[in-house]
Amino acid sequence: MAGDEKSSAFGDQAGSVELLWGGRERPSRGPKPALSLERITRTAIGLADTGGLGAVSMQRVAAELDFTKMSLYRYVPGKAELVALMIDTAMGEPPEPAGAAAGDWRGALRDWAQRLAAVFAQHPWLLSALVGPRVMGPNELGWTERALAALAGTGLTGGEQLDAVLVVSGHVRAIAQVSASMGVGGAPAKEPEAALSAALNELLVGRSERFPALSAALAGAAGGETREQAWEFGLERILDGLEAYAGRG
Amino acid sequence: MAGDEKSSAFGDQAGSVELLWGGRERPSRGPKPALSLERITRTAIGLADTGGLGAVSMQRVAAELDFTKMSLYRYVPGKAELVALMIDTAMGEPPEPAGAAAGDWRGALRDWAQRLAAVFAQHPWLLSALVGPRVMGPNELGWTERALAALAGTGLTGGEQLDAVLVVSGHVRAIAQVSASMGVGGAPAKEPEAALSAALNELLVGRSERFPALSAALAGAAGGETREQAWEFGLERILDGLEAYAGRG
DNA sequence: CAACAACTGTATCCGCCGGACACAGATCTG
DNA sequence: CAGATCTGTGTCCGGCGGATACAGTTGTTG
């Protein structure tokens, strides 16, 4: 334990924490930087939006900016930190709460979930970027803050509020994942549920006796599926459950 | 459209479909294979269990088996297909339904979710492996089958049953993700919720005025959080919502 | 049995990846 | 101006997934 290293729960992620949260001031000597974190991050996001996270390499980002890849390392300690920046930038400023002031927490939370789903739809690579140990950035934390604010008047305890946000955001990701599973590369399918059904049906050809419940469910869902149904059904069930609990307590 | 290529919704994933679903028979001529899909897959899973998905490379899998990496390509078309096999093998045979015969769909679904969560806890890399376009294997489909079977008597339509399973499995993944976010490499933290609270608290030091609802929620959750609370709270809310809907319809 | 076809495992090679390191030129401070 | 400092670059490395060509082994067929 030598030196003045700040003791922290973020082991080898100190770089990300500093980059995401710390405003590092420009040094006074030396040439002015020709690039900026902002430009680099935006460029990387652009690549990921069109070609998925796999299309983001230091080489490609640098080439897009007409620089050498090594020049990027003057701004970012490594690729992991760049991805962390991409995440927080792509999440963007959390939206203004809708209906929270009116005490309509259910509407506010539904609205929050929809806006979050829109973010995932716009940046499908976010799903894969979010897995694994990471540091939350200010925007990501801001999203959580907004959802918690909506739940403030429900009578739920602090822990329950956190848990509720986790369930809702879990549903958002689950739906986004289904969409992403059906698409190719960075572009999700337009009608995730229909595509999912089609893929399932294809797998089930000649195997219906092995998966009877699945076959029955798919047969029953035959034509009437809207692409929005899974989203709405799940979200409303979750909100129902939360409302019942809040009303009961 | 030349040749006898089977028209299918699985574009470049035909290899995975064949590997996961098709029983390819041994050719009669040539030397007997010294390896097996089974051995290769198990070895890869072992590497992933201890070092995460990033620790799985063709080189390392082959080295573990004392073979050259190129020999693996005699069994598997590419790494993507190997990962698909790892997923379906790690999922394992879906569990026997518990309480389904007794008509206790809620208990059966809760049991199903718990067993699924156990799988994710044992193979944390599954989370990252499941994102993106993929083909479902027989075991994965079997898990879905079991959940649907539990919901058969609820009166939900086929589509609603599928949606319900999606919500529950989404929650399972959400909880698994929180655990994985806190751990290092392949090993998740033992007390995910406590670690999450700690990390959040650390980020919030000196920033509580910027995230008031979050600070309040964390303060309210201070000591009393059990590591199982987020899991149970979310799952029971979802089941409540489903039960209310089923009872109403 | 001999010849051949089919199959397995290997060795070599390629392009791409993230990143360490040393260095030249630009810039500010004294 | 002299020295310190910072930026962008060129070079190099190990590791990755994978294509290809080839030698050795095996079953089939005349």
Q: What is the pLDDT of residue B15?
A: 82
| pLDDT at position B2 over 70 | no
| pLDDT at position A17 over 70 | yes
Q: How far is A88 from chain B (nearest CA, A)?
A: 15
**Hey, how many other C-beta atoms are within 10 angstroms of the C-beta on B4?**
4
Question: DSSP per residue over A120-161, as a string?
Answer: HHH-TTHHHHHSSS----HHHHHHHHHHHHHTGGG---HHHH
Q: What is the pLDDT of residue A194?
A: 67
Higher per-residue pLDDT: B14 or B186: B14
| pLDDT at position B205 over 70 | yes
| pLDDT at position B29 over 80 | yes
Q: What is the pLDDT of residue A1?
A: 40
> Phi, psi at residue B187, to the nearest 5°?
-100, 115
Region A150-170: mean pLDDT is: 95
Residue ranges of the alpha helices (H) in chain B? 14-21, 37-51, 58-64, 69-72, 79-91, 105-122, 126-130, 138-150, 158-182, 192-204, 212-220, 229-248
Region B19-29: mean pLDDT is: 84
Percent of the residues in chain A that have a pLDDT greater than 70, as a whole number: 86
pLDDT in tens, B88-115: 999 999 998 776 567 899 999 999 999 9
A22-36, A75-89, A110-124, B156-170: least confident range: A22-36
Q: What is the pLDDT of residue A202?
A: 84
Contact A94, A139 (CB under 8 A): yes
Q: How far is A220 from chain B (nearest CA, A)?
A: 5
Q: What is the pLDDT of residue B8?
A: 66
Q: What is the pLDDT of residue B112?
A: 97
Q: How far is B15 from chain A (nearest CA, A)?
A: 14
Higher per-residue pLDDT: B87 or B191: B87
| Cα dist from B174 to A177, A246, B23, B72, B195, whole Å | 12, 22, 34, 34, 16
The answer to whether B31 CB is within 7 Å of strand D is yes
CB contact under 8 A, B10 and A199: yes
| pLDDT at position A221 over 80 | no
Higher per-residue pLDDT: B79 or B96: B79
Q: What is the pLDDT of residue B3?
A: 38
Region A24-35: mean pLDDT is: 87
The answer to whether B24 CB is within 7 Å of strand C is no
The answer to whether A72 CB is within 7 Å of strand C is no
Return d(Cα B165, Cα B148) in angstroms, integer.
7
The answer to whether A79 CB is within 7 Å of strand D is no
Higher per-residue pLDDT: A5 or A148: A148
- What domains can you pick out in chain B, each with its CATH number? 14-91 (1.10.10.60), 105-190+227-248 (1.10.357.10)
**Hey, how many other C-beta atoms are within 10 angstroms of the C-beta on A53?**
20
Higher per-residue pLDDT: A221 or B153: B153
Q: What is the pLDDT of residue A248?
A: 81
Q: What is the pLDDT of residue B101?
A: 66
CB contact under 8 A, A145 and B225: no
Q: What is the pLDDT of residue B14?
A: 77
| pLDDT at position A2 over 70 | no
Residues 6+ away with beta carbon under 8 Å from B33: B26, B74, B75
Selected for mutation to probe chain A from B144, B233, B235 (highest A CB count within 10 Å) is B233
Contact A183, A189 (CB under 8 A): yes
Higher per-residue pLDDT: B243 or B182: B243
